[in-house]
Structure 1
Amino acid sequence: MNSKLNIVVRVDLDHSKAQVIAKGHITIHSVNALYVVAKRANCLRGGLDLELDISSAWVDEEALEMLHAASKTRQLPARIDPDQAPCTISVLPNRRHPRTAPVRLAA
């Protein structure tokens, strides 16, 4: 697993949509990088539908809860967006779950 977080943003202003694609390991610390990118994308146009695609990322449970909380409240955390601008976030579920212990194969 690559612990480095890679983020790609796709924006379609004609349809008021943006997609933030994250790969790597999302922790309670690195989730702030996603929030910052989401804030920048959200500032491009009012009423932008923002989709966080974490389907190819390893996401810690606590970080996933933080992302879902932002989705439910439709706001980014106040430390990231002090103005608390409305932010419509959809979180695509991750397909992989972090392993709790390394898997060893018999020789």
Structure 2
Amino acid sequence: MKSPSECESLKDIRDGIDSIDHEIIKLLGERMEYVLSAARFKPNQASIPAPDRVAEMLLERRQWALQHKLPADYIESLYHEIIQWYIAQQTQYWRTKHSITTGNKGTHKLGNG
């Protein structure tokens, strides 16, 4: 993949963006594996949201955003959404593993189904 300054056409730019997006999606899948694995260490469903941990994470992501010259408010908002979605997935996974059903089977998978 060419660096942005090495790109000689819009196709080069799009190829670079597509490559980065593919990697982001791959990493979100890997993150899901960690999130679901963390359910093993959660003694009950109430322990899943971990608001103190979330607050810590959001502050750290804000700092990372600033280090990379990105808007901290946007990155915090983006990660808030990401984290809430993963919490919902971990909750469903935990409930499934503990035979507590809600009628939404398979929601822990990435994608629409």
Tell me whether the two structures share a fold, i.e. TM-score over 0.5: no
State which structure, 1 or 2, has the greater radius of gyration over its C-alpha atoms.
2
Higher helix share: 2
Per the normalisation by structure 1, the TM-score is 0.30
Per the normalisation by structure 2, the TM-score is 0.29
Higher strand share: 1
